[in-house]
Amino acid sequence: MDFALSTEHLMVQQMVREFAQREVAPIIRECDRTQQMASFVLERMAALGILGICFPLKYGGQGMDYISLGLACEELEAVDTTLRVVMSVHVGLNSLGIFQWGSEEQKERFLIPQVKGEKIACFGLSEPGAGSDVANLSCTARKDGDSYVLNGEKMWISLATKAHHALVVARTNPEAQDPHDGLSAFLVELNSPGVSRGDIHGKLGVRAGSTGWIAFQDVRVPEANRLGEEGEGFKIAMSCLDNGRYTVAAGATGLIRACLEASVKYATERKAFGREIGKFQLIQQKIAYMVQSYEAARLLYLRAGWMKNKGLRNTKETSLAKWFATDASFQAASEAVQIHGAYGYSDEYPVERYLRNAKGAVIYEGTSEIHQLMQAGYALGYRQDGQLRCELPPYDPDVWLAETTSESKNQKDKVKST
């Protein structure tokens, strides 16, 4: 058992940290205030190769492993949740879904442009009337010749107005005995006739990012854009959530670290009753819990990343990592505000933003309550993970680093040169 990060891991960690700290941190408070995503973020993340960090070179990626993806997400959310959300949606929920379930033709058309950052992707599962109850979604896809006609609305979609592609789950068989079996997944080009979308404003947190809705009115989707087989939509969605939840767990770990660093800094600068407040035991207790939470959350997500690298099913382990890290990040942010006192209630310091952002992660990609039920089900023997027709490919450096074109070599060099 080796707990050390490789040279490549450290390189990724440093590159992403420098980008987030130098380029985004100085402007993030204003972006949060104006509820606008910085215009350069997506383009810059693409140029650095971050959007394709864990994909083989032959698809335009960086050839790094899944642990690298987790490390990148930790560094991004240590600055702001909106940066990690990009990775959760574009990479975890969409691109890795195509990588796992897509045909080679679909990978050529959709995955390669997304990995290179030429096209931005989102994920359409939640609806105005269906969140945790996925089987109850009402968006339909009716077969008509060599295409499907898509109707319905998706809600709470990150990057809804920024994306070019969406992985959408819709009902293709309303008569299925088990409603889960009546769902199918589709790769939808969002410039198609009948697609409309908009941003959601007034959110509690994640204000510096894009969250919106997408409506489909008689949108024709070619049969060639169906991901997987008809009726596999629920399994595909759940496997995508496994990957998205991994990025959320890693990101929440970064948020805990940000709370810890901000609290330590303030506790050693602020004085009360003639001494640094860090000298008081109750302040020390709050900081000690943050240390504990960070170390535990980090080990949980790294274990999930290691399992992904090995090609091991990790639904249980990823669920646990997501549940623990997000709950712990919300608690850490709350205590960070408390340590900062009245200043913590103002955006003069970042901890109030950490608190607002942390609340979202205990809701999306499986509420904390859903993950509690999952973990209890595993422990009691009520829940078992069946084999999937398509598993997420394990990391194989000989395959992933195989350079098929000079262009793929140039992609790999991006991380090395930044």
SS3 262: helix
Q: Which two tokens stand for residue 210?
A: 């894009």
CB 92 within 8 A of CB 55: no
Distance CA 103, CA 228 (A): 8
Query: Alpha-carbon Rg of the chain, whole angstroms?
Result: 21
- Those residues whose C-beta lies under 8 Å from the C-beta of residue 359, and which sit 6 or more positions away, are 204, 205, 330
Distance CA 71, CA 50 (A): 11
SS3 137: coil
Residue 336 CA: distances (Å) to CA of 130, 205, 258, 263, 282: 34, 16, 10, 6, 12
Residue 404 exposed, middle or buried by CB count within 10 Å (0-12, 13-18, 19+): exposed
Residue 113 CA: distances (Å) to CA of 51, 58, 95, 324, 392: 10, 12, 10, 34, 20
SS3 14: helix
Any catalytic annotation for residue 365? yes
How many beta carbons lie within 10 A of that of residue 282, not counting itself?
9
Distance CA 350, CA 145 (A): 54
Query: How does DSSP classify residue 277?
Result: G
Task: Give the CA angle between residues 344, 88, 68 to the nearest 5°.
Answer: 95
User: Annotated catalytic residue: which of 74, 365, 369, 403?
Assistant: 365
How many beta carbons lie within 10 A of that of residue 379, not counting itself?
10
Tallying the residues shown for the chain, one arrives at: 418
Distance CA 219, CA 149 (A): 5
Residues taking part in catalysis: 365
